[in-house]
Chain A
């Protein structure tokens, strides 16, 4: 197969933002978090992503503020480097090469020029980790090789929450399993405290996290059984004490002291933020229902903002423990994607199941979660080991007016609980409104579901196939006789079909909606939805058919099926015979809704290959080996907002729509062409703003507005017939922007300045007259020719001349003079600095 150079697989958003604890800048206006290979800078006020700090080539495993400069931040990564960034501007300042994968990073104000990192002890045995202090050399180079290592703690875990610095960096506390270790830097001595493996009640004593009081000698540790222990007097082996606080019923996920140490915050799987008063442990405040299990808690340096990361890839910003002020939500991909990937035709967002019981609408263009649609509408109980309702299937009509969802809950002993819900799109609120709930639509699990795609047909039809051996057609029934009750229409069952008691595996409607194909193990049955007649059966044994799809547009006479014994078959429906078949272990068959193309993901030897083909052509349009490792089970064709005009054959299939897929590790990938990347690069260059203003959409808007105004200026000047101030000229700008203390004395500059003004005025007057003459002649011209269009370019050129004329006097000797003066002065300044 030919590898196509210009189409490549790229990572497209949706990466985790809850992997490591976020960092809040000193002024509480920015929030930094590790996200995949980059560090994202969010504005705490608007939730917008301000910068992506890109540069690492591996997963970023830690972000810490530089204690000596609060506008700089360290980040460490598995690629073995620590990078120092200026996060307000998004500039990489320095790269320290460590050489080993780094799992977390710590800094302390007490240790100037030293960072603490956690690395694996040896390259092979990655189970053991050690805390290492790295001396950072001062030098001017961009890339620095760090060599001065000194081991601090020999046996730690790689979890960043398991290590914390004590009061003012005097000691460091680390937990591992049932052991707490405190290392005092001054004495160079460490104390270890052990807990028994299991106490009497059977609770687990394992440490989960540790945090030190900022002002007091106190260490708080969280435990697997939900207890929080406060350790005191730990600078000796014998007489240490601890007190226990217990509220959490699951493991304590994270602990954090407020900057003054007055409160202790804790969170866990219950998704309740608990605020304990320090020294008054009986008093607690709660902030319940934060949505998902809390994994990290961070408090801003001024104590005004709390920030919690959650297991559903979300960061919540809380104002003074009472109000959720902002939510930064990433793509939720917790345990797995049960639904197919879909594209909502209205918002063009990718849809998949997200939070438990919800469907998430994720904008691919903006890489941002638009909203969650609550499907189950039940209170989610945050407790481990509970079986809750999950959204397992969803389908949109091609117009996007209807959404069908299936939720199920399987308890160990009890029956399967199934609900089929149909949602109507409400134009007014731009959201989906529940129309019909069908409880127990089938007796067993639903295997596939699809809507009739016909654009022109009056009735909307949904077909669901189930393990109980039936497929059912649901139809929207106009309820004419119940008009007085106010309900306009609801869904009801139209037809129940079965075939020899076999289990239907997949179903598919033809493009015009006139045929329905349902696969019953090895047999494909083709039905006519209008009369519910079995038209024909097709089969290609052995091997049950897993995926079915009809061709589109010119290939609509073909029906494709992929069997589980690696055969891809294509039937011609006009002759009811097999057109072709090929051996291919297809894991996913996907139709592009906008073209004839069909994408087949094939799983072979541990990695997935992609083939894009048209059913009527023998040669695939595109093929790529080893798109990713593992099996691809979810993919979608997302229509592009504007068509690409790529003429290269290998990338033409990406012109109308873009192919996204989810890897087994829940990374969202896509295929991108060279032209597209070039375009992206160009647009990103345009977007660079030199000011240090946060690049919000608002500022972009304003900036554009200002540019427009500037463009219009010369014209308005012309209409007012006033002499322009020479603002636009480079020299004046330079003059005004140079700091006052490096400029020569005002008396020296003033005469020059005034002179320049004088000259320009006389010049422009002459020009004015010239313009007036020209204008008059223009009028005459237009009178003669009755066509003003031809005269315009002349006028425009006149304006150009005019503007140039205004600049002209300053571009000569004066500018040179000013520059010379400036240069001189700077040299003088640098001399002072050097001495």
Chain B
């Protein structure tokens, strides 16, 4: 009988609305003051949609505009030097570039690769750099030199994984020949070889706490934990998808793996028990990274997004958009900069805004002297002075000025301009509403040239299906079609816009229909699941009927 459902309609709260002259304690000229001023168009405040402003968004938005550097090919790996000045080793195509923290030009370049280089990584002291290559040779460089110090030959296929063990004297490599090996650095000998994976090994990580432990991930969907002292892997976990990236928490109790669209967290101390599976990307996740304080986890994906997760509840707290699919991702210490490498060879570096920089800019502006402001303010009129009060000038928005003059077309134009500049559809919608109220919307819409019309259509395409604006904009669209139907086919620009509009509407109709279907389904489900409640009606209506008979009317109760 009684259905309680969610309240409909927009509820807007306005803080303080000053009402000119409506206080009755000063009833001297309330009506007079009210009359003289033009009431500006009210731009409705709509409840805010989309993401809320949190501490995280503020933190992650506090970066400067990105520095973009074009590399020769897809950037497969980025590694930050563990020692100051925290240079980046960027592996792209057949080269490894070392970039300084703020330089746009590479500090150093390693070009002695015969084929595509992979996985350039720094040693913990930042002195040595190791990199794999398509030609199966692993090369070790000194950061100051150019020529490889050592070359480790033994793999039969491309080496995609290289890393230093924590004792600094061994190197881990993983290759497309399904093997991972440990090498002794000084005499370039192979110490261990594990051939347990059944597909390419594309990621691996060494423990920072234990010199013998390392983990590899492979395209055979498994992660394997190896101990150099053992012959076989000590732990195997099934990720379910080809594993693209691995990350160990600083405590090394938790392991993060990325593969397919999933990011999975494993508890190593519980024998590799899966903790969480995150599915926030809609394409393969390619890279992982941990913020400097360990509170946030970042993942980059081929869907061109970098997502920031909280490591306490594994919810997405922020999201970065990039222009191309992301292959590699790195954070400088203290989150000073975010470096992202993409498939199109563009390296994007975002540096954190310096709090001092913004302050300096403000201080540079010269201020008028204090005396200028105080001038005349403290003047007290003498007894015989005649006070001429200056009328307070009302500030009006540009479109309001036009509306005041009844220039309806110009008012619409200025509103459209503000939309183009600030992307605030509320203003435009408010002006359209006001024109409609004045009965002059048709006049304002008519008589436009190709450019004006296409701009208007552009606005409609952008906002027509927004449920907040739809009631107003649908009538506007109808009016436009009515007015300009005679000129359809004369301008290719306008025709294209109209086709877009048609497309949009068709999609919207389909969408609405689907929604209605879902609602219908939900209704039947609710109806069948809710217990039937007896309303105490029968007794009441009986007594009612009795009363009626007494009162002398003969009609039965409902």
Contact = CB atoms under 8 A, between A and B. Distances in A.
A290 B32 CA distance: 8
A491 B5 contact: no
Nearest to A441: B9
B17 A433 contact: yes
Interface in A385-414: 385-389, 409, 411, 414
Nearest to A420: B9
Given A314-B31, A371-B30, A581-B551, A431 B9 contact: no
Interface in B1-46: 1-5, 7-17, 19, 21-25, 27, 29-32, 34-42, 44
A536 B543 CA distance: 11
Contacts of B4: 495-497, 532
B407 to A, nearest CB: 14
B544 A577 contact: yes
A523 B9 contact: no
Contacts of A289: 35-38
Contact of A327 (B7, B32, B553): B32
A436 B38 contact: no
Interface string A243-279: 0000000000000000000000000000000000000
Contacts of B541: 537, 539
A430 interface: yes
A444 B329 CA distance: 55
A490 B11 contact: yes
Contacts of A442: 9
A532 B4 CA distance: 9
A440 interface: yes
Nearest to B537: A537
Given A381-B438, A438-B10, A537-B540, A431 B24 contact: yes
B547 interface: yes
Contact of A436 (B13, B25, B553): B13
A118 B41 CA distance: 47
Contacts of B471: 415
Nearest to B18: A433
B555 interface: yes
B189 interface: no
Residue of B3, B36, B475, B550 with most chain A CB atoms under a 10 A cut-off: B36
B12 A492 contact: no
Nearest to A434: B17
B104 interface: no
Given A492-B11, A536-B540, A388 B437 contact: yes
A306 to B, nearest CB: 14
Interface in A357-397: 361, 369-374, 377-379, 381, 383, 385-389
A540 interface: yes
B550 to A, nearest CB: 7
Nearest to A433: B17
A787 to B, nearest CB: 48
Taking residues whose C-beta sits less than 8 angstroms from the other chain, chain B's interface range is 35 or more
B546 interface: yes
Interface in A525-566: 532, 534, 536-542
B544 A430 contact: no
A324 interface: yes
A436 B11 contact: yes
Contacts of B437: 378, 381, 386-389, 409
B535 interface: yes
Contact of A370 (B9, B19, B24): B24
A430 B25 CA distance: 7
B276 interface: no
A764 interface: no
B11 A379 contact: no
A753 interface: no
A500 interface: yes
A802 to B, nearest CB: 46
A329 interface: yes
Nearest to A314: B31
A814 interface: no
Given A373-B22, A430-B24, A577-B544, A499 B1 contact: yes
B13 A324 contact: no
A429 B23 contact: yes
Contact of A373 (B19, B434, B548): B19
A423 to B, nearest CB: 9
Contact of B1 (A314, A388, A493, A534): A534
B536 interface: yes
B439 interface: yes
B538 to A, nearest CB: 11
Interface string A2-36: 00000000000000000000000000000000000
A184 interface: no
A392 to B, nearest CB: 16
A365 to B, nearest CB: 14
Contacts of A325: 32
Residue of B17, B21, B24, B36 with most chain A CB atoms under a 10 A cut-off: B24
Nearest to A479: B13
Given A386-B439, A436-B13, A440-B8, A370 B27 contact: yes
Contacts of B544: 537-539, 576-578
A537 B471 CA distance: 38
Residue of A431, A438, A541 with most chain B CB atoms under a 10 A cut-off: A431
B234 interface: no
B558 interface: yes
A495 B4 CA distance: 6
B27 A371 contact: yes
Given A324-B35, A370-B27, A522 B22 contact: no
A541 B547 CA distance: 12
B550 A534 contact: no
Contacts of A534: 1-2, 535
A575 interface: yes
A788 interface: no
Interface string B437-460: 111000000000000000000000
A674 B396 CA distance: 57
Nearest to B536: A536
A491 B11 contact: yes
B557 interface: yes
B12 A439 contact: yes
Interface in A468-494: 472, 479, 486-487, 490-494
A316 B537 CA distance: 61
Interface in A449-482: 472, 479
B13 A487 contact: yes
Contacts of B19: 373-374, 429, 431-434
A409 B436 CA distance: 12
10 contacts: A327-B29, A329-B31, A361-B24, A371-B21, A373-B22, A378-B434, A434-B17, A439-B10, A541-B555, A541-B557
Given A440-B9, A577-B546, 5 more contacts: A314-B31, A371-B23, A490-B13, A534-B2, A577-B547
Q: Which 5 A-B residue pairings sit nearest by Cβ, starting from the closest?
A: A493-B7, A578-B547, A490-B13, A577-B547, A434-B17
